[in-house]
Amino acid sequence: MTANTANRGSQNDSQRAIIRSILRPVGAVTVGLLLVAVFIGASGYNVPQAFSALFIGATGLQLVPFKVNMFPLAQSLAQTAPLLFTGAAIAFALRAGLFNIGAQGQMVGGALATAVVGAWEPSLYSPLHIALCLVAGGIAGGLVGALAGLLKAYRHVHEVLSTIMLNYILADAADYLVTNGLKEHNSMAPQTIKIAHTAYLSPFVSGSGLNAGLLLAVAAAIAVALQIKYTALGFRIRAVGENPDAASASGINVPHVLTTTMFISGFLAGLAGAVLVLGLEHRYIKGMTGTYGFDGISVALLGGASSVGVSIAALFFGGLTSGAGYMSLQTNVPDSIAVVVQAAVVLFAGARALPWRRRQNHTLKTNAATIAGAGGDAAGE
Partner 1 sequence: MSELIMSLTWGTLYYATPLTLAAMGGVLSEKAGVVNIALEGFILSGAFAGVCAADVTSKYGVIISGLVGILAAIMIGAVLGFLHAFLTQKTRMDHVVSGLGINLLASGATQYLYLHEYPQGLSVTGIPRWMFLVAALVLPFAVQLLLVRTHWGLKLRAVGESREGASMAGVSALPVRFAAVTLSGVLAALGGAYLSLADDHNFSTDVSAGKGYIALAAVIFGKWNPLGAAGGALFFGFFYALQTELQIRHISAHFLGISWTNSFLLDMLPYIMTIVALTSVIGKAVPPADLGKEEATD
Residues of this chain that bind partner 1 (CB under 8 A): 39, 43, 99, 101, 151, 155-158, 160-162, 164-166, 168-169, 172-173, 175-176, 179-181, 297-298, 301, 334, 336-344, 346-347, 350-351, 354, 357, 360, 364, 381
Least Å from the CB of residue 116 to partner 1: 17
Round to whole Å and give the CA distance between 350 and 39.
Answer: 22
Closest to partner 1 by CB, 97 or 273: 97
Closest to partner 1 by CB, 146 or 220: 146
Round to whole Å and give the CA distance between 73 and 17.
Answer: 33
Closest to partner 1 by CB, 246 or 343: 343
3-state percent breakdown (helix, strand, coil) of the chain, nearest 5: 75, 0, 20
Please state the three-class secondary structure of 343-381 as a single string: HHHHHHHHHHHCHHHHHHHHHCCCCHHHHHHHHHHHHHC
Closest to partner 1 by CB, 168 or 197: 168
Least Å from the CB of residue 97 to partner 1: 11
Least Å from the CB of residue 344 to partner 1: 8
Closest to partner 1 by CB, 48 or 381: 381
Do residues 103 and 314 lie in contact, with contact meaning Cβ atoms separated by under 8 Å?
no
Q: What are phi and psi of 68, to 5 degrees?
A: -110, 120
Degrees (nearest 5) of the Cα angle 203, 265, 194? Answer: 35
Q: Which residues pair with 285 in a beta bridge?
A: 191
Do residues 49 and 332 lie in contact, with contact meaning Cβ atoms separated by under 8 Å?
no
Round to whole Å and give the CA distance between 19 and 24.
Answer: 8
Least Å from the CB of residue 299 to partner 1: 13
Enclosing H/E stretch for 83: helix 70-95
Least Å from the CB of residue 57 to partner 1: 17
Least Å from the CB of residue 181 to partner 1: 8
Least Å from the CB of residue 213 to partner 1: 25
Closest to partner 1 by CB, 218 or 340: 340
**For the chain, how many residues are written?**
381
Least Å from the CB of residue 268 to partner 1: 19
Closest to partner 1 by CB, 189 or 226: 189
Closest to partner 1 by CB, 211 or 298: 298
User: What is the identity of the amino acid at 48?
Assistant: P
Q: What is the DSSP letter of 196?
A: P
92 Cβ contact list (under 8 Å, min separation 6):
224, 228, 261, 264, 265, 268
CA nearest neighbour of 261 among 224, 221, 223: 224
